[in-house]
Every structure is written in structure tokens, then in C-alpha cells.
Amino acid sequence: MCGIVGYVGEEQATPVLLNALKKLEYRGYDSAGIAVLDSGRLTVRKAKGRLRVLEEKIATEVIRGHIGIGHTRWATHGEPSDVNSHPQTDVSGKIAVVHNGIIENYAKLKAWLESNGVEFRSETDTEVIAHLVNFNYNGDLLAAVIETIKKLEGSYAIGVICGNEPDRIVAARKDSPLVIGKGVHENLLASDVPALLEYTQDVYYLDDREIAVLYADRTEFYDDYGARREKQSVRVEWDISAAEKNGFEHFMRKEIHEQPAALANTLRTRIKTYAAKSINLEEIGFSPDWAKAGRVVITACGTAWHAGVVGKYVFEHFARVPVDVDIASEYRYREPILNPHDIFIIISQSGETADTLAAMRMAKTAGAKILAITNVVGSTLAREADLVMYTRAGPEIAVASTKAFTTQLVCLYLLAFQFGLLRGTISPERLETLIRELESLPDKAREILREESGIQRFAARQFNKDKVFFMGRLFDYAISLESALKLKEISYAHSEAFAAGELKHGPIALVDKGTLVVALCTQSALFDKMESNIKQVKARGASVLVLTYRDEERFNGSADAIFRIPRVPDELTPVLSVIPCQLFAYYCAIQRGHDPDKPRNLAKSVTVE
Ligand code: G6P
């Protein structure tokens, strides 16, 4: 997904822009560019490929100037190429624009501009914005941007500079994130906080339809009619080391290893320890009314949807409330039946996924109550939901989500337990036991991580398999879905998940000697069934890896290898059983020679459809 940066201040802008863009590489991109102003003269440099290519391109020249904008582009309109990269400029060559999002009416605007004599150079929707700003420019860049965004339909986060006004950057957003960093004698602009942390921890989250004007010594905020607004900065608690690799070779492995601390962070303050242990959701504004819901609807995409599948089983089991779990892109386009007593749990690591936000807005318009589970403070989801439960996982940089997922699960457990208590399906005594189990998860996750080398060795033997199937029942089925996704995302091995009971309804037709079957076996009441599924795939030549409890002897001898996890109640295993599978995916990617942090064709944050 595209990344935007901007700088105005005492330093030379070019190195700051390149450095900040590097911190946004995790978002996924296929080209990059910068535009820098020096005494009104605009220099634009762009290159297809990784940032390194752009750096090499400008290595021999000095691009001076204390103000500039930069961009990493993930192609949507027009192929990845130098000319389609951002910044895009207007016909006068004075105005430069970086843009994240999609302008839905760009074809109409382009036709209109062409009928007024404008010649387009790129295939991008963004070039329309540059020409419109020029068309509306009358000596005031802010006024020109305000006029321009009135014409735009779709989503945008933009940064605009103009040679006639070399002291300011004008930025605006709608449905696409933008953060402003408040420095000393400098101010910065970025799509995401990690790009700013080396310079400042004080940020302003720009609201939808809000405009920011950045000068070296201040930032002014306006609504889309041009009226001034006051805005408070927020202190980001992450520091720069949290957004960097800290000695790990890859962000993904670092983030897998951060899970014990992240899980503890999610639980922190949410458990009352005086007298009897109970759950404290006051901080999120949770009131007992929420637990009276007739139905819970969970909506999300990708890994967050898999958390939702676990959530369905958790809520139904502990709180005895009916749950629908929906993929957001499906939900938004069918005709879902909404009831006034439904509550919506919307799960999104980034809080910016386009389909997830659209589903949330549909539910909101229909009058439903929205509870968001997200990792990003100030994200669009967080700002638009009625209640927000932050996962507190810290920045997740690797595209493949790991710690965001397990912390989402912990949030769902806390909520389901509280629902259960309020609905009378969990007694206070049982709640105490369950809370103790939740509190044991960080240590148990740590124990699994200590056995990483066993998983690494197994991956070294199995990484070349043509097909990898993950199968399980109930909670193990949900984690099979997530594990298969993880493996295909970063190793590009063909991997699928299915409910083990479905084996005979299709998947078994594909099982042969070249197949690895990972059988997740933590649902004790269904061990017999799993054993017979394992026999069926072994009989067809598959290699079998079983994942079960450390003290469970049942599967000894029935598999080629066994991963073991510490025992917890069967309903709590997802938080632990996914960890070996994350590591397995990671090591398969390494063995296959792929960079797990930058999987091909994938983006961390999917802010367009
Ligand atoms: C992309 C990411 C996934 C993520 C999904 C949903 O596909 O690569 O890791 O699970 O988007 O993102 P969200 O930010 O809404 O959780």
C-alpha cells in the first residue's frame, strides 16, 4: 500500500524523506519518488522498483532544499513505472502531489481537464489532483487544495507542495490515514507512525476531511471549508527501537518473539486482582448493556477474520450468544439482515482496511453498536467505532500478521468471558479459573518459543513439499485457516486448510506422497476423529505433522513429527497453537529463499478494494 512522507524544517529534506520512506517499506510498494523545493525550484526524482533504485539514481547529485514530499507507490492505476510513480506534477511544473488511495471519478475529471487542454503524462489518478490544484491555484495553495478536494470522489491522503510557496506543505485526507509529526523547528507528514519516530513521538492524527498545513515552526489545521481548527497532539508510546528489528534478521521473527510481552500488555489493566479476579473493561467504556446483545456479528479481513472465527467459537462456548462471522468484503455487498439488538465486533490490525471500514459503516448506518478491536491508536476504525479495545501489540511491521493476531484473540477472550459473566453462563468462580489461564499464556508462549529450533529443523526437512494441508476441528480448524494463510503468504507453498471432518468430501483426492498434512490436535473430545483422519492421509503416503499438548501421549507413533505446546483448556489453545505454525511458515520461507517481511504481491494495509 502506498506510503506518504513529507518534511519541512531546518534539515536537508532529501535524506529525511528517504529515511522516512524506508520505515514505510513494510506497507508494500513497487516504485518510489521524492519532490524537493529549493528557493521555489522543484526537483522531482522517481524510480520503479525498491527505494534502493531511487537512492542509486540520485546518489551522484545533491538535491538541496528544506521542504519536500516523498512516496512509495503500490500500483493501482497504471503499471509500476518511473512515470507513474509519485510525486505527480502539474503542467506548470510548480506543483507536486503525493497521494494514497483511489480517486473513483478520475476518468471524468481527466476528460474534463483534457477538454481544457491539459496533456496527461501518466496513467495515474493522482495526476488529476496535480492538474486540478494548478487549475484552482490563485496564489494560495491551501485554497487551491480545498477547491480540489471538493471535486474528488473516493479515498485520498495527499501531500502537496508548490514552488510559489516554498515554506509549507498542504495535506488532506479522506478514508486514508495521515499522521503529522510535531518536531522542534521541523514538522513531518507520514502515512504511519513508524516513519516519524526517529524525529518525534508527538503526533497529530488527521481526521477525515481535515486539512493540515505544515510549516517549519507550526502546523495549522482546517476543516474542508477552510475554517481553522484547534488540535491536540498525542504522545506515541512506541519508541524507535520498537519499530526496528532489534537484532532479529526479520521483523516477522522479531514480532513472533514479541508475543509473550504483547499478550501480557493486552491483559494489563484489564484484570482486577483485588478480592476475586475479574475483568475490567471500564477503560474501553464497556457497559453491561452490551452483553444483552441478541446476536454478535464479527466482521474482518484476512488474519483478522481468522481471529473472528476463533471469536465465534469463544463467544458461543462461553457466553452462549449466537455469533455470525463474516468476511468484510462479502458482508458489504450482500444484503445482511441487521437487528437492532445486534452488536458488531470489527477486528482490524491497522484499523484502515477499506472493506472492513465499509462493513463497519454499513452496520453503523443501520444503528448497530460497534466495538472495534485494533492495534492502531487513532486509526479510522478506532475513531468511528462506539467502543475501542486496543490490542496493544506495538507496531507490527512484517506483512504477515503474528502478534496482532494473538493479541486480537486475547481481546476476544476477555470480551467473551465478560459477556459470559453478565449473561450468567460463567460463574464468578469459573471466571477466576479462566482468568488465571489467560494470565498463564505469556509464559506458555515463551516456552513454545524456546523450542524454536525443533520447528526450524522440521521446516528444513519439509520446506519443499508441493502441497501442505492444515486440518483440525473446532478451535483447531480456526487455527488451521490462519496457519495455511501464513505459510502461503510468505513461502508461496500451496497450502490449504480444511475442517478435518471435510477430508472425505474433497481434500483427500489431492493427498499423495508429495503432501504434508499438519494435523492440529488439541480438542480432546475429538481426538478419536482426528486419529482416524491422520490414518487416512498416512495411508495415501502423506507426511504428517501433529500439533498437540506436551503431556498428550495419544498421538505418539502416529505422525512423522510432533510439535508440542503447554496444556491449557482446549478452548484457549488458539493463542498457543498458532505460534509453532507461524514459526514453521517463517522457516519454510527462509529455506525457500524468500524474504518473509516482504512477500510478493501482498500489502500490510489494504486501504483500497
Ligand atoms: C492484509 C494483511 C493481513 C491482514 C489483512 C487485514 O491482507 O496482509 O496481514 O490480516 O490485510 O488487515 P487488518 O489491518 O484489517 O487486520
Identify the residue with better confidence: 81 or 566. Answer: 566
What average pLDDT score do residues 435-443 get?
97
C-alpha cell at 148: 480540489
Nearest atom in ligand 1 to 353's CA? 15
Give tens-digit pLDDT for 489-533: 999 999 999 999 999 998 888 899 999 999 999 999 999 999 999
pLDDT band of residue 102 (cuts 50, 70, 90) is confident
**pLDDT, position 276:** 82
Say whether 351 sits in a helix, a strand or coil: coil
**What pLDDT was estimated at residue 243?**
67
Is a pLDDT exceeding 80 seen at residue 26? no
Atom 8 of ligand 1, nearest CA residue: 604
56 CB-near residues (< 8 Å, 6+ apart): none
Task: Write down the pLDDT at residue 275.
Answer: 75
Check pLDDT > 80 for residue 79. Answer: no
The pLDDT value recorded for residue 245 is 75
| Dihedral class, residue 518 (left if φ above 0, else alpha if ψ from -120 to 50, else beta) | beta
For the cut 90, the answer to whether the pLDDT of residue 452 exceeds it is: yes
Identify the pLDDT of residue 241: 66
Cell of 300: 474482518
CA of 307 to the centre of ligand 1 (A): 11
On whether the CB atoms of residues 90 and 78 are closer than 8 A, the answer is no
**DSSP codes, 296-347:** EEEEE-HHHHHHHHHHHHHHHHHH---EEEEEHHHHTTS-----TTEEEEEE
Answer yes or no: is pLDDT of 608 > 80. Answer: no
Flag the least confident range among 211-215, 248-252, 434-438.
248-252
Backbone angles phi, psi at 216, to 5 degrees: -60, -35
In terms of average pLDDT, the best of 149-158, 576-585, 595-604 is 576-585
Mean pLDDT of 71-82: 82
**Percentage of the chain exceeding pLDDT 70:** 98
Cα(351) to centroid of ligand 1, in Å?
A: 9
Distance (Å) of CA 177 to CA 61, 595, 607: 32, 27, 9
pLDDT of residue 606: 79
Q: Where are the beta strands (DSSP E) in 80-227?
A: 88-89, 95-100, 156-162, 169-174, 179-182, 186-190, 202-205, 210-214, 219-223
Residue 177: pLDDT over 90: no
> What confidence category does residue 378 fall into, taking pLDDT thresholds of 50, 70 and 90?
confident
Catalytic residue among 254, 312, 465, 604: 604
CA atoms within a 13 Å half-sphere pointing along the CA-CB vector of 97: 30
Atom of ligand 1 nearest to the CA of 602: 8
Mean pLDDT of 152-169: 95
Closest CA to 270 of 406, 407, 166: 407
> What is the structure's pLDDT at 242?
67
For residue 187, is pLDDT > 70?
A: yes
- Give the model's pLDDT for residue 550: 96
- Among residues 126, 424, 132, 452, the alpha carbon closest in space to that of 260 is found at 452
Of 74, 301, 483, the one to substitute when testing ligand 1's pocket (max ligand atoms within 8 A of C-beta) is 301
**Amino acid present at 458:** F
Q: How far apart are CA 355 and CA 344, in angstroms?
A: 15
Q: In 3-state terms, what secondary structure has residue 212?
A: strand
Cα of 348 from ligand 1 centre, angstroms: 7
Of residues 600 and 519, more confidence is placed in: 519
**pLDDT above 70: residue 99:** yes
- pLDDT exceeds 70 at position 110: yes
**Inter-residue contact 73 to 5 (CB < 8 Å):** no
* For ligand 1, atom 5: residue with the closest CA: 302
- Report residue 339's pLDDT band, with 50, 70 and 90 as the boundaries: confident
- What does the pLDDT average to over 112-125? 94
Residue 134 C-alpha to ligand 1 middle, in angstroms?
36
Q: Once rounded to an integer, what is the mean pLDDT over residues 22-42? A: 89
The closest alpha carbon to 159, from 219, 108, 105, belongs to: 219
Q: Which residue in the list 2, 301, 411, 521 is annotated as catalytic?
A: 2
Q: For 358-374, write each residue's pLDDT tens digit.
A: 999 999 999 999 999 99
343 CA from centroid of ligand 1 (Å): 22
- Residue from 305, 349, 384 to probe ligand 1 pocket by mutation (most atoms less than 8 Å from CB): 349
DSSP 558-579: SSSEEEEE----GGGTHHHHHH
- Edge-to-edge strand ranges of the sheet holding 543-549: 494-499, 467-472, 515-520, 543-549, 561-565
The pLDDT of residue 394 is: 83
Predicted pLDDT at 268: 84
Ligand 1: residue of 252, 605, 608 to mutate (most ligand atoms within 8 A of CB) is 605
Active site residue 2: yes
Closest residue CA from atom 2 of ligand 1 = 604
- CB under 6 Å to ligand 1: residues? 301-304, 348-350, 353, 356, 399, 401, 602, 604-606
- Does pLDDT of 29 surpass 90? no
Nearest CA to ligand 1 atom 1: 604
Identity of the amino acid at 459:
A
**Ligand 1 center to residue 296 CA distance, Å?**
21
How far is the centre of ligand 1, averaged over its atoms, from the C-alpha of 557 (Å)? Answer: 38
When pLDDT is cut at 50, 70 and 90, the band that residue 81 belongs to is confident
Across the chain, mean pLDDT equals 93
> Which of 329, 606, 608 best tests ligand 1's pocket when mutated (most atoms within 8 Å of CB)?
606
Is the pLDDT at 252 greater than 90? The verdict is yes
pLDDT at 195: 93
Answer whether residue 486 shows pLDDT above 80. yes
284-303 residues labelled b (16+ CB within 10 A) or e (exposed):
bebeeebbebebbbbbbbbb
State the average pLDDT over residues 445-460: 95
Task: Specify the 3-state DSSP secondary structure of 175.
Answer: coil
Closest CA to 142 of 64, 213, 231: 213
Handedness of CA 578, 582, 587, 593 (dihedral sign): positive
404 CA: nearest ligand 1 atom: 16
DSSP 453-509: HHHHHHHHHHTT-SEEEEEESTHHHHHHHHHHHHHHHHH--EEEEEEGGGGGGTGGG
pLDDT classification of 254: cutoffs 50, 70, 90:
very high
- Kindly report, residue by residue over 257-273, the tens digit of the pLDDT: 999 999 998 998 899 87
pLDDT bucket at 1, cuts 50 / 70 / 90: low
Q: What pLDDT was estimated at residue 28?
A: 67
